[in-house]
Amino acid sequence: MMSTTRKRASRLGACLAAVLISSQTAALDLALPTSARETVSRTSPSDSYDLPIGAWVEGSGVPVASLDGEVRRKAWRIPGVGITTGQVLGPIREQLISDGFDIIFECTAQSCGGFDFRFGVEVLRAPNMYVDLSDYRFLSAKSDDASEALSVMVSRDNDTVFLQLIEVGPSGRPSVTISNAPSVRVPETAGDVVSTLENVGHVVLADLEFASGSAALGDGPVQSLDAVVAYLIANPTRQITFVGHTDATGSLEGNIALSRRRAEAARSYVIARGVSEGQVAADGVGFLSPRATNLTAAGREANRRVEAVLISVE
C-alpha cells in the first residue's frame, strides 16, 4: 500500500508535471548579499528532477515529486564573517512568497533528517556546493500557477555560506536573476524561538548539541542563539534564564555542574554578541528534568540540552 506521504508526492508531481510542459513564468529576482559569487550555472532543456517535499522517513527515504522539464542548476558562494544560513535564506523565502510562490516544504538540518536527507537529495558537486550535516537549510516551492517548481539549499563552512538553486519549468522561460541585498536579516529560526518563548514561556534550543560530558558549543554560529540575541536586543526589558540539562550518566552533583556549564556557554555566546549581561542568567538541573528516557542512546541525546526560559512578568 502506498503511504500517505508517497500519495501526496505522487499527486503533487502529477499536478506540477501537467502544467510545467505548457506554461511560462516571469523572471524571478532573488536577493543575495553583494559578496555572492556564482560558481556554477547549468541548464538542461529536457531533464528531470526529484523535488523533495518532505523530511527523510526511515524505511521510505525522502518523499519527492518527480518532475520533467527544463532544469536549471546554479550555485553561489557567499563569504562573510558571522553570516548564517538563516540570514541568507530568510530574504529568499520572503521574496518567493512575495512573488506568488507557495512553500511546499522547509526544514533545518535536524528536522530534515540530517545525514540521511542530505544524501537522499540532489546536491551539486564540490567545490561548487558544500553541505555541513549539522548546519543546513532547505526549502522547496512552486509558483502559484504550478508552472515552475524549485528547491533551495543553504549551508556553511566556517565564514563561507554555500547556496544552491534547482529550478524546473517549461523551456524558454526567463532565467532567475540575482539582485544585491547588502543587509542581512534575523535568521528564520527567530520566529519559532521567539514565538515559543512568548507563548509557552520556554523553548528547547534544539540546535545546541552536546556530546556526553561536554559543554562545548563549537566555533560556528548557533542559529537558535542568534535568534535569542536578536530578540533580546530588540526587547531590552525582557529577561531569560538559560537552563542546562544532562543525561543520567554519572552523579547528580557532577551533572548539575555540567548542566550549569552548558547554560553558561549559551549565556556567554549571547553576551559576546551584544546582549546586556543583566538580561540573561544561567542555571542547571542536571538529570532531574528529562524530556526522554535515559534507557536509550536517542533519549540520552535528547536530554543533553539547554532551554531558554522567559522570566519577565510583563
**Contact partners, residue 5, CB within 8 Å, separation at least 6:** 54, 57, 60, 63
Residue 221 and residue 116 share a domain: no
Residue 227 and residue 173 share a domain: no
pLDDT(282) > 50: yes
Q: Which of 135, 154, 180 is the last residue of a domain?
A: 180
Residue 210 and residue 148 share a domain: no
- Concatenated DSSP letters of 223-267: HHHHHHHHHHHH-TT--EEEEEE--SSS-HHHHHHHHHHHHHHHH
- Whether 204 and 305 have beta carbons less than 8 Å apart is answered as yes
- Whether 192 and 106 have beta carbons less than 8 Å apart is answered as no
Q: State the Cα–Cα distance between residues 194 and 86, nearest whole angstrom.
A: 15
The answer, as to whether pTM is greater than 0.75, is: no
- Whether 103 and 116 have beta carbons less than 8 Å apart is answered as no
Query: Per residue in 226-239, pLDDT tens?
Result: 889 888 988 899 99
Q: State the Cα–Cα distance between residues 96 and 104, nearest whole angstrom.
A: 11
Residue 158 and residue 41 share a domain: yes
pLDDT value at position 183? 36
> What is the pLDDT of the chain when averaged over all its residues?
81
Residue 10 and residue 49 share a domain: yes
- Whether 280 and 241 have beta carbons less than 8 Å apart is answered as yes
Closest CA to 73 of 40, 28, 116, 34: 40
Q: State the Cα–Cα distance between residues 73 and 37, nearest whole angstrom.
A: 15
Residue 22 and residue 98 share a domain: yes
pLDDT value at position 24? 47
**Contact partners, residue 163, CB within 8 Å, separation at least 6:** 32, 36, 75, 76, 77, 78, 88, 152, 153, 154
Question: What mean pLDDT is predicted for residues 52-67?
Answer: 90
Residue 251 and residue 112 share a domain: no
Residue 123 and residue 86 share a domain: yes
Confidence of residue 149 (pLDDT cuts 50, 70, 90): very high
Residue 217 and residue 85 share a domain: no
Residue 167 and residue 35 share a domain: yes
Q: What total number of domains does the chain contain?
A: 2
With a pLDDT cut of 90, the percent of the chain lying above it is 35
Residue 170 and residue 80 share a domain: yes
- Give the domain range for residue 158: 4-180
Residue 212 and residue 167 share a domain: no
Q: Which of 151, 180, 209 is the last residue of a domain?
A: 180
Higher-confidence position of 179 and 103: 103
CA distances from 6 to 36, 50, 58 (A): 36, 13, 13
